[in-house]
Amino acid sequence: MNFITFTESNLRDFTFNVFKKMGCSDEHATLATDVLIRSDLRGIDSHGVARLSGYVRLWEKKRINATPNIKIVHETPTTATVDGDAGLGLVVAPFAMKIAIEKAEKYGSGWVSVKNSNHFGIAGYHALLAVEQDMIGISMTNASPLVAPTYSSERLLGTNPMCYAFPAGKYPPVIVDMATAAAANGKLEIAQRANKAIPDGWVQDKSGDSSTNPNELKSGGSLLPLGSDKDHGSHKGYGLSATVDILSAVLSGANYGPWVPPFVAFLEPSANPVGEGLGHFLGAMRVDGFRPKEDFKNHLDNWVERFKNANTIDPDKKVIIPGEPEHAFEQERKVSGIPIIDVVVQDLNDLAKKLGIDGLA
């Protein structure tokens, strides 16, 4: 595998041009670009520009509306439901988080459930918007059904990530941002490219037997929930995924469970949807709604230090603080650029040609 390294601004310009070609406003194109590039900066390569042509294909199929009228359809002082009007989740989710933050500024907390949206990129991006305001940020989304609940041979849930983000003092924010499956689809794709077996406990085949074949999903297999099997708590991973699904979609009026529209454009959405688009759930709570923010940050710093300095099994490995590796990537890639794998560069240049814009390299 070869990587080509691009500067952040190079990738931003390219991505902005793609969204503009789709018909997005300058404001929306800038925002959607920011979500994708921040993912690449933070080392979450699967959710950055690698997804760009996927968004374009959904737009070509008219499943993404590049000029959505995103609006609140129901609210109380601290809760709201947002209709994303089939817009890019990359734009809809920050809109919803902005509402949550405004409500939190006034009342201490704000919570927004979103329907009629699309894939929103990395959950951490949206939660960090709250952290920048000294708030605790929460973000979740449901996703294409790939995961089988405990005992099921059917895929009924997405990898449904949940994210909790907390502002620290001298340390980077603590950000727990995780798929509720044992392993996200991106890890299977890496094994597919390397032609390698995957560990037991990530997927089952279509009969429900454990499999180490990274291509098993193409033959009717399923991802497994966090916990992998009943003995190891897969019912907990299933329960977390269900929680994300209910907060994001049953609460907002989006599609849930097996009805969530697939991210890939070659699979058609359900002919009998139970809601509109897919759903997200965003929340913000003011830290100083609970205690003075400096107290919170000092204690979170203390928490971080205690965990960083824990005795470890292997003296060469330290306990990892959630969010710290991504923060380190971001500092480094802002300076030395963002490496993109050659197959993705090729895909992006093909996309540029199709759209009639300048390629990447």
Site for its own copies in 295-314 (CB under 8 A): 295-296, 299-300, 302-303, 306-307, 310-314
Residues 39/122, Cβ–Cβ less than 8 Å: yes
Q: Which of 6, 59, 111, 125 binds its own copies (CB under 8 A)?
A: 111
Q: Which of 17, 150, 192, 213 binds its own copies (CB under 8 A)?
A: 150
- The region of 5-13, 53-61, 83-91, 149-157 touching its own copies under the rule CB under 8 A is 149-157
Site for its own copies in 207-236 (CB under 8 A): 207-208, 226-228, 231-233, 235-236
Rounded distance between C-alpha atoms, residue 261 and residue 278, angstroms: 7
Quick one: tokens of 268? 């058609």
CB of 42 to its own copies, least distance (A): 16
Total binding residues toward its own copies, as defined by CB under 8 A: 86
DSSP per-residue codes, 8-36: HHHHHHHHHHHHHHTT--HHHHHHHHHHH
Of 162-191, which residues contact its own copies (CB under 8 A)? 164, 166, 174, 176, 178-180, 182-183
Cα dist. 246→136, 148, 300, 304, 312 in Å? 21, 16, 30, 32, 38
Contact set for its own copies, span 21-50 (CB under 8 A)? none
Binding of residue 250 to its own copies (CB under 8 A): yes
Residues 70-99 that bind its own copies (CB under 8 A): 74-81
At 87, list the tokens.
Answer: 């817009």
Closer residue to its own copies in complex, CB, 15/109: 109
Cα(63)–Cα(68) distance, integer angstroms: 12
Using rule CB under 8 A, residue 194 touches its own copies: no
CA dihedral 231, 237, 243, 246 (to 10 degrees): -100
Question: Taking CB under 8 A as the rule, does residue 260 contact its own copies?
Answer: no
Q: Which is nearer to its own copies, 29 or 249 (CB)?
A: 249
The CA R_g of the chain, rounded to the nearest whole Å, is 20
Contact call for residues 221 and 203 (beta carbons, < 8 A): yes
